[in-house]
Amino acid sequence: MTTPPPALLIAGHGTRDEAGAEAFRDFVRELGRRHPELPVAGGFIELSPPPLGEAVAELVERGVRRFAAVPLMLVSAGHAKGDIPAALAREKERHPGISYAYGRPLGPHPALLRVLERRLDEALGAAGPDGVPVDRSEVTVLLVGRGSTDPDANAEVHRAARLLWEGRGYAGVETAFVSLAAPDVPSGLDRCVRLGARRIVVLPYFLFTGILPERVRRQTEDWAAAHPETEVRSAEVIGPEPELLDLVMERYEEAVKGDLRMNCDSCVYRIALPGFEDKVGLPQQPHFHPDDDDHHHGHHHGGHAHSHAH
């Protein structure tokens, strides 16, 4: 008898915003519709029903003994690093006999960067107010993350900003945070202006609507009202796009196969990033840093000891 594939458990942050919570629940339902071969359930760590434990119990009631948990989160902060693993360990005690694999957060994946680029295009429109196509070299983007007390999580937002800027022609992509970390949105906008920005698009680095993305929009509008000399627009959140649905399944497959890569999602030798398409699949040669004392020991480019052509 063929062993059924592990079920898929989606773990969400939770939000006090009912529309945001329902967007998550709709997303989980859509994943289930797209993959009828898999039991799919989803729950939240805090604030919103259903709790993650209830989602696990639902799977167990359906006869599931193995599942892969994917955190529906853009960065690896406290929830992904601590709260979800702790919750899963607790559920393992509550339901003897179950086993699970744990996937990794979603960003900054090239598919999500493409959605962010689309959101910027939508915010700018096909043409500016004078009907002339928008020149990206005149557009500065402020990518606004959730913000965390974990500096590693905040650094991931900066990484997403850099990857969004590379090869896409924007004047710059700056970062700000809506809570727990500096700079805040007004400070980020001030920085853009000091760097010479005349046209700014504020881009929320969030999956779904909610209290925090709305706070980003309000703060942007307040700043814009106080600075009428600067054109400021707000972009939409990522949303339940096909790219996001596909990426969750990619994270599921990684977890099931134990193929948890580090930064290969955005490796220029594996993925055709804008402006760097010619690097995909290039063989890697050892290179030497000019400050190395001993030039007889080669190492692989960027620490990648594996083949990039796979």
Q: What share of the chain is helix, strand, coil (3-state, %, to 5)?
A: 40, 15, 45
Q: Is residue 135 part of a domain?
A: yes
Note down the domain range covering 87.
7-106+241-279
Domain end call among 172, 201, 234: 234
Q: Which residues face 70 on adjacent strands?
A: 10
Element (H, E) at 61: helix 52-61
User: How far, in Å, CA of 98 to CA of 220, rounded?
Assistant: 47
- Report pLDDT for 52: 95
- 3-state secondary structure labels for all residues of 78-135: HHHHHHHHHHHHHHHHHCCCCEEEECCCCCCCHHHHHHHHHHHHHHHCCCCCCCCCCC
Q: What is the pLDDT of residue 290?
A: 41
Kindly state the tokens that stand for 34: 């797209």
What residue type is 7 in one-letter code?
A: A
Q: Is residue 53 part of a domain?
A: yes
Q: Which has the closest alpha carbon to 95: 50, 65, 55, 51?
A: 65
Closest CA to 40 of 88, 5, 73, 7: 7
171 plus 183 within the same structural domain: yes
Q: Longest Cα pair distance anywhere in the chain, in angstroms?
A: 69
Read off the pLDDT of residues 32-53 as tens digits, 9 standing for 90 and up: 999 999 999 999 998 889 999 9
What pLDDT digit, counting tens, does each position of 227-258 carry? 999 999 999 999 999 999 999 999 999 999 98
Task: Encode burial over 20-58: b for 16+ CB neighbours within 10 A, e otherwise.
Answer: bbebbbebbeebbeebeebbbbbbbbebbebbbeebbbb
Q: Specify whether 125 is located in the same domain as 91.
A: no
List, for residues 97-137, the tens digit of each pLDDT value: 999 999 999 989 999 999 999 999 999 996 555 667 789 99
Q: Mind listing the pLDDT tens digit for each residue in 121-179?
A: 999 996 555 667 789 999 999 999 999 999 999 999 999 999 999 999 999 999 999 99
Question: DSSP 3-state assignment of 65?
Answer: coil
Q: Is residue 304 part of a domain?
A: no
Number of domains in the chain: 2
- Same domain for 142 and 229: yes
- Provide the CATH number for the domain around residue 34: 3.40.50.1400
pLDDT tens by residue, 183-218: 999 999 999 999 999 999 999 999 999 999 999 999
What's the confidence (pLDDT) of residue 289? 40
